Structure formats: C-alpha cells, structure tokens
Amino acid sequence: MRRNLGQDKGQHLLVEKEVIDKEIKLSELSGRDCVLEIGAGSGNLTKELARTKAKVTSYEIDLRFQRELSEIAKQYPNLSIVYSDALKGDWRGFNKIVSNIPYHLSEQTITKAIISDIPDLFLIVGEKFKEKLVLETKIGLVARKFYDVQPIIFVGRENFFPVPRVDSWLIHLKKKKNIKEIDRILLDIIFSKGKIKNALLKFYISEGKTKNEAKACLAGVGLGEQVLEKPSKMITAKLVLKLKDVLERQLNKDGRNPGGNL
C-alpha cells in the first residue's frame, strides 16, 4: 500500500513511468549536465535522472523520504541528496532544472531560476500555473522576458499520488538567446531589493545621469509617490507594463534602441 507521504508538504508524487520517461527524454541529459531537482519525494524521477550520468542534486525537505532516497543515492555516485529547502540553496552552476515541483513553489522556482541564470527548466506544474505563464500575469510577463515558454504535454491528475485537485502540464522554459536590453533592465528593477524608487534612480544613474538629473527623471515618470515607495517585489503585472513604457522613453531619449539585444 502506498504511504500517504508528502501531502502536507504540498507534494503530489508523479507515479506514472511513461510521463517520467517523457520528461527525461525531453531534457536530453548527459554527463556534461549539472541538474537540479526540487522536491525529490520518494525518488521516482530522481532515480531516472541519476541513470543519465548527469551530476544530479536533489532537494527534499520531507525527511520521511530519507530512507528511499538514501538507498537510491547509494547506487549512483553522481547523485547528491540535500535535505533542506531548495529555495534557500545556491543554484549557481546548474544548467538544468528537471523537476516535478510542489505546486505552491512554482512561481518562486521560476523567479529564482531567472536570478540564478539557469538556461533550461523542464517542469511539471499545475494547469492553472501553466496558464499564468502564457497570459498577461506578472509571472507570465517576467518569465517570457527571460525564457521561451513552451507547454509540452498535458498530465492528468490520475498520474499522481495523492491525487491532486488539478491537472498538470509538462513545460519547457528555455533561456532566450538574445534578451532585449529593455527586458534585462526591467528584470533588474523587478528583482532589485528595496523600493521601486531606488531601483529607478539606480537605472538613471547607470545611464550617466547625475543624482539631481536622476531625481528629475523620476519626478517625470508619472507613477506617483505611493507607487514609487513600494518594494520592488510588490510590482504588479500592470506596473510591469508601465515600467517598460517608462524605460523605453528614457532609452529613446538617450538615442538607444530599446528593442536591441544585449
């Protein structure tokens, strides 16, 4: 009988081998890859990742899976199991994320992947989150500035245990070869620490403005003091579009091509 593990951690374990095989095939892993898995669970995907000879680091926060994962790790020297929160780890150096992530970590995973400059993500996510990625939501707008987002296959809820309330999708996010200058600047502002005002001032100064000139530019953006005082992490989808317009106007004034690639 299957143990009812992972449910209180937001995990629904993928148990359908055919879907796991498709995820592995899509990721095209080899010994040259350094792979991150988030939410290893009982190791159904973990074991298949390790078999590819890639260097695999699998995070699992639920210690009730420790026995299963330890047995898998004994068989594969290229596999490391980390029993802690993946979002608190250092993702630099990984070139691929292959994971059936807990649904509630979806947005945070993609955000951290962008900040960590991860080139390829192969994820199974909830259907509603897949829709967010292709619509004009904040995470959709942000993700599509850095990644080409491609839904691959529908994954029905019956492929998981415990059975979730929603269906899922296997998706591929591939880093764009050429990221527009305007989009890179916008991402820097969105992911900056502190207030929106300070992030914009930093941008204007990086463009060669003096502090006084930067303050004058800020006064003319039309965002309002209440918005400018908000933390950058509170930027909404509507504000993402507004900021893009503000930045494009400034780059045009400076004789730059906002749509140019970096």
CB-based burial, 74-113: b 16+ in 10 Å, e otherwise: eebebbebeeeebeebebeebbbbbbbbbbebbbebbbbb
Give the span between the Cα atoms of 119 and 110, in whole angstroms: 11
Q: Report pLDDT for 177.
A: 93
Q: Which residue has the higher pLDDT, 219 or 90?
A: 90
Q: Return the structure tokens found at 225.
A: 């003091």
pLDDT at 96: 98
- Edge to edge, what strands does the sheet with 34-38 contain? 79-82, 55-59, 34-38, 96-99, 120-126, 168-175, 147-155
Give the range among 62-66, 243-247, 254-258 with minimum mean pLDDT: 254-258
Question: What percent of the chain has a predicted confidence (pLDDT) above 90?
Answer: 83
Mean pLDDT (whole number) for 236-249: 92
> How many whole angstroms separate alpha carbon 192 and alpha carbon 200?
10
How many Å apart are CA 251 and CA 198, to the nearest integer? 18
Quick one: pLDDT at residue 1? 34
Mean of per-residue pLDDT scores for the chain: 92
**pLDDT at 143 exceeding the cut of 70:** yes
pLDDT at 150 over 60: yes
SS3 assignment, position 54: coil
pLDDT at 2 over 50: no
Handedness of CA 172, 175, 180, 184 (dihedral sign): positive
Element at 152 (helix H, strand E): strand 147-155
Q: For 3-7, 121-125, 234-238, which range has the lowest pLDDT when averaged over its residues? A: 3-7
Confidence tier at 253 by pLDDT (50, 70, 90): confident
Checking if the pLDDT of 168 tops 70, the result is yes
If one compares 220 and 173, the residue with the highest pLDDT of the two is 173
Percent share of the chain, pLDDT over 70: 94
Measured between alpha carbons, how far is residue 162 from residues 8, 23, 86, 157, 168 in Å? 10, 20, 22, 9, 14
The mean pLDDT value for 137-148 works out to 97
Residue 257, pLDDT > 90, answer: no
Residue 87 has pLDDT above 70, yes or no: yes
> For position 262, what pLDDT does the model report?
46
Task: Identify the CA nearest to 106 among candidates 140, 65, 147.
Answer: 140
Contacts of 173 (CB under 8 A, 6+ apart): 110, 113, 120, 121, 123, 143, 147, 148, 149, 150
> Looking at the predicted structure, is the pLDDT value of residue 29 above 50?
yes
**Nearest partner of 103 among 235, 24, 7, judged by Cα:** 7
Mean pLDDT over 169-189 rounds to: 94
More reliable by pLDDT, 159 or 254: 159
Q: Is 150 helix (H, G, I), strand (E, B) or coil?
A: strand
pLDDT at 66 over 90: yes
Which domains does the chain possess? 7-175 (3.40.50.150), 181-253 (1.10.8)
pLDDT at 250: 83
What is the arithmetic mean of pLDDT over 185-196? 94
